[in-house]
Amino acid sequence: MDTLVLGIGNLLWADEGFGVRAVSALNEGWRFPDSVTLMDGGTQGLYLLPHIQSARQVLVFDAIDYGLEPGTLQVIRDDDIPSYLGVGKMSLHQSSFQEVLELARFSGKSPERAVLVGVQPKVLKDFGGGLTDIVRAKLPEALAIGRQALADWGIVATPRAPGEAAPLFDPSLDVAHYEGERPSEDAACRVGDARFLAIRAAREG
């Protein structure tokens, strides 16, 4: 694989879905040469290692907790990408992209070049939620940064006609469908199973 464009994150947890939404928007809006692979990396963690090892260069979109103002974009390149950085893990099975990249380096098979475009999330613990307005508003700028990084590598993006692209994930997770069918806050708990929370509250009370 020559060039991998990777979106990292979990669409089910609000701003944690930034990376996946970014690579999806890039896929919907632009066409790339066959040497470029766009991938929804989700929360696959270590399962992404073979893809990272086989890519000559990698562009990644992700939600990263820098401790900055929500919506702040940061661009980190090559060896400046630290080994351990990111939002809290959702499970013991989830590894950050930075950890996977470090494992690729340790194996002796890692990309020659890497660019990480990260956004400071505002909300993570909102089960079933979409991107917050402030993070969603940063998508166009993040995509422009990503396209420029690719252009610096000699890769030109060609605008697509609306609806031309094959989706990267199931259509049920499309923004309009996913967010439009979300139950109201009264009908569905936003932070976990309401039954469990009620039991915990009773115990703590």
pLDDT tens readout for residues 106-117: 888 888 999 999
CB 86 within 8 A of CB 18: no
**pLDDT value at residue 159:** 94
**pLDDT value at residue 92:** 33
Query: Does residue 175 sit within a domain?
Result: no
**pLDDT value at residue 61:** 95
Instruction: Please identify every stretch of the chain with a pLDDT value under 50, giving residue numbers as ranges.
Output: 85-94
**CA neighbor of 168 nearest in space, from 3, 21, 36, 55:** 21
Query: Does residue 10 sit within a domain?
Result: yes
User: Which residues, in sequence order, are bridge partners of residue 74?
Assistant: 118
Number of domains in the chain: 1
**pLDDT value at residue 69:** 94
Query: Does residue 117 sit within a domain?
Result: yes
How is residue 104 written in tokens? 């690729």
| CATH classification of the domain holding 93 | 3.40.50.1450
The residue range of the domain holding 37 is 3-169
Query: Does residue 203 sit within a domain?
Result: no
pTM, to two decimals: 0.82
Pairing of strands 36-42, 113-119: unpaired
- Kindly state the helix (H) or strand (E) to which residue 42 belongs, with its residue range: strand 36-42
Query: Does residue 176 sit within a domain?
Result: no
CA-to-CA distance for 140 and 146, rounded, in angstroms?
Answer: 10
